[in-house]
Amino acid sequence: MEKIQLDIFGMHCASCALNTEKALKKVEGVKSVNVNFASSKALVELADPKVTVTDLVKAVKNAGYSAKMNVAEKDIEAGKKREYQKIFNKFLFAAILSLPILIISMPQILMPFGVNAETLMEFSGRKLLLFVLTTPVQFYAGWQFYTGAYKAARSKTTNMDTLVALGTSAAYFYSVLTTFFITGDAYYETAALLITFILLGRLLEARAKGKTGQAIKKLMGLRAKTARILVDGKEKSIPLGEVKVGDIVLVKPGEKIPVDGVVTKGLTAIDESMISGESIPVEKMVGSNVIGATFNKNGFIEFKATGVGEGTVLAQIIRLIEEAQGSKAPIQRVADKISSYFVPGIIIISLLTFLAWFMVSQNFVFSLLLGIAVMVIACPCALGLATPTAIMVGTGKGAEKGILIKSGEALETAQKVDTVIFDKTGTLTKGKPEVTDIVSKNTKEALVLAASLEKLSEHPLADAIVRKVEADNLKLIAVTDFEAVTGQGIKGMIQKTEILFGNRKLMEGNKVFYGDYGQDLLALEKEGKTVMVLARKKEVVGLIAVADQLKENTSKVINSLQKMDIATVMITGDNHVSASAIAREVGITRVLSEVLPQDKADEVSKLQAGGHTVAMVGDGINDSVALTQADVGIALGSGTDVAIESGDIVLVKNNLDDVISAIKLSRFTMSKIKQNLFWAFFYNIIGIPIAAGIFYPFFGVLLRPEFAGLAMALSSVSVVSNSLLLKFKKL
């Protein structure tokens, strides 16, 4: 499935995002759409590759908004600044005019300063002056609400602009009627202050929303701006975007590595902390990989570019975060469902409020003001911002710690995890085993026979045995008829004799006789070592034990998870005795041993069938099926391969501590989302009845539409601000 990300312009509320989403979903060939109001981005997944970006942009335009693809970050930021400045200018304009409007409308507020309010109230041209001052506010500062409402109406839908346009228009045009045609009080200050307060709310909201996406901005800011390459033996400085795969790039001490590559000349130490989290510089020599945006400390190097543009590690990380921030957590479906009916529902409640109060009080103006107050106190924006802002801050905080959460669904599910399954090799252990024991009547011969077979094998333990032969300067023997037996070992012909090398299953399947080696095998396994048996002519001729050192923090991580009431399980292809020894050492009580790679997913399924929410932690390659089967797949990244497709969460630093951090981050983020949703629902459930006058005459100030509008504006800001508090949580 192809995924296309679009930058959406012109959205003002959650209803706008839902309208854009609906428009994109109607395009034939589109499989799924997520529109994020907080980040103003749409992530579109296509089922038909024939769908073009033009088709999608046209659909967004028909919905009343605009969309572009591959907009440079600097252009997006410049556009946001222009939009912010435009709103600020209109707010300032509205505020400057609203002050005299307020004073002329309510001169009693100046009485403490010795001003005679009655004189102002009796001024014959008072209403005409208010009309002159309010009209520019209504149709210049507030024009965007009319255009937004018109675009929504054209798409046969409604949004927040619809409510504001209706509310302010009702107050303004009623006041015009009382100025020129009928007798009655004017409420110009209601229209002017409403527009002023809502523009203030949008300003505050825009500023707060900008802070939720700071993690991506920081990552983008790490990139070098230019690169120095060799062209016909001469140095040439070019913009970063012009570097091509295969170019020879030169980097001096104190400069950033511009793109990914392989060192072809020189020796240096590079600070890779932005990827690995390790503060100690990593030595680089000919053949070493270098990562774009890392910092060259003290040497001059030349390297061949292997990853440029979207192919760099940093670009992969940014893409993963953007996709995660554009995705929706399942919990958001409730808010989306309510938001889709919200505005039409509020308009109906507003009309009912007006009619009910008019029937009771026979006071048209009072009833009208209550109807307007209901219309403007309601806030779908708070509902729309509750989930995406928390996800943006949460995934951003994770990225800064080297924890890449690839979707909102993974972020939500991780907080429910009650069982974590760890693969042993390379996850609990360092993944670089070494030969510890050779038991044989002829140790050199046994080692050579085993290494000759393992040289042809791709098994993780093969490298340890081959390295041992090379260290002892022994020569290998030619092998014919080589065969790898999955999950058991290998066999082949050496000097016209069949040699077997593998685990107990291989020996039992070939009816091999252990002789005196049985006790030695058991003793080595009890020490937690992986023991491979060497057999010739149906008899064991040697044992080779290999041990993989545990990572320093393994026991601490297991203990911490258990304190969080999370069960820990180890899964491995090792025999039960040696696997149990490792498990005891780290504190794991449940061991799934002698499990073939293809059967790991079945073991995950069994735990899920028992009602457990399971996280699987593995290297993302050998464990891909199990990682996909788990409720949450946590893949340990290598630092240079972060976009591991099988993992829902990628731990870039390869650090087990981050398993705990990922679960904590999920719990913190979901807690914020629930707080935000509670506040958004609570605000509307309480605010709408108050504005409708159910508690009249109490809460009198909220019966004034302008103050109801201010309350609405501040509700959105409070939700975003609450999400931003996630930044200060310790993982």
Active-site annotation holder among 247, 423, 548, 658: 423
Q: Based on the number of CB atoms within 10 Å of its own CB, is 591 exposed (0-12), middle (13-18) or buried (19 or more)?
A: buried
DSSP letter at 491 equals E
Burial of 306 (0-12, 13-18, 19+ CB in 10 A): middle
Sign of torsion over alpha carbons 674, 675, 680, 681: positive
The answer to whether 322 touches 216, Cβ cutoff 8 Å, is yes
Cα(43)–Cα(64) distance, integer angstroms: 18
323: left (phi over 0), alpha (psi -120 to 50) or beta: alpha
Asked if 726 and 672 count as a contact pair (C-beta separation under 8 A), the reply is yes
User: Is 423 in contact with 568 (CB distance < 8 Å)?
Assistant: no
d(CA 624, CA 620): 5
Active site residue 648: no
The CA angle 81-82-85, to the nearest 5 degrees, is 85
How buried is 279 (Cβ within 10 angstroms: 0-12 exposed, 13-18 middle, 19+ buried)?
exposed
Helix, strand counts (H, E) of the chain: 25, 26
What is the rounded CA–CA span in Å between residue 645 and residue 635? 9
Could you give the CA distance from residue 407 to residue 404 in angstroms, rounded to a whole number? Answer: 9
Q: How many residues does the chain have?
A: 731
Whole-number Å distance between alpha carbons of 31 and 22: 12
Answer for the pair 721, 390: CB distance below 8 angstroms, yes or no.
no
The torsion angles phi and psi of 694, rounded to 5 degrees, stand at -60, -35
Closest CA to 332 of 637, 37, 721, 115: 37
Closest by CA to 609, choosing from 588, 628, 632, 629, is 629
Active-site positions read 423
